[in-house]
Amino acid sequence: MNRNALQVTLQIDGGARGNPGPAGAGVVIRDGAGGTVLYKGGLFLGRATCNAAEYEALLAGLRAAKKIGASGVDVASDSELLVRQMRGEYRVRNAALRELNDSARRLCDGFDRCAFRHVSREENTAADKLANMAMNVKRNVLDAAE
């Protein structure tokens, strides 16, 4: 592996007010070495389920990580379902989620390394805040201020 390769931590969160209901996704990308925030944003998704919003956050985060030149990604999510599905520990039974899962797997294939870890909600407040901000204003909040 290239010693100068950019390794990042991708914090993601998705949520919906109602299930389904107005939904948002939050993404925070940090430099894996120092923890410096390289990108953060919230996406307003319109009407979606909580699980679909989690996957939309993952897709947006993986695309943003690729755009900034990351070669390795450590994904941190408080969605146990998403993490276990992406690790292959759980099957994806829902057809809509299967499409999102397939898209995420294709994006992961574009990195040298793509790992998933489940974190507590308390460890994921930055991404959660961005998802809620997008839901509150009903629009995307890219590179949003804290």
Q: What is the pLDDT of residue 33?
A: 83
Which residue range is the domain that position 68 belongs to?
6-140
Q: Give the start-end residues of each E strand in 17-140.
A: 21-31, 37-48, 70-77, 113-118
Is residue 65 in a domain? yes
pLDDT, one tens digit per residue, over 33-91 is 889 999 999 999 999 999 999 999 999 999 999 999 999 999 999 999 999 999 999 99
| DSSP character at residue 85 | H
- Does 3 have pLDDT greater than 60? no
Q: How many domains does the chain have?
A: 1
0.85 surpassed by pTM: yes
What is the distance between the alpha carbons of residues 41 and 57, in angstroms, rounded to a whole number?
Answer: 10
Residue type, 109: D
93: in domain: yes
Residues 31, 68: Cα–Cα separation, whole Å: 11
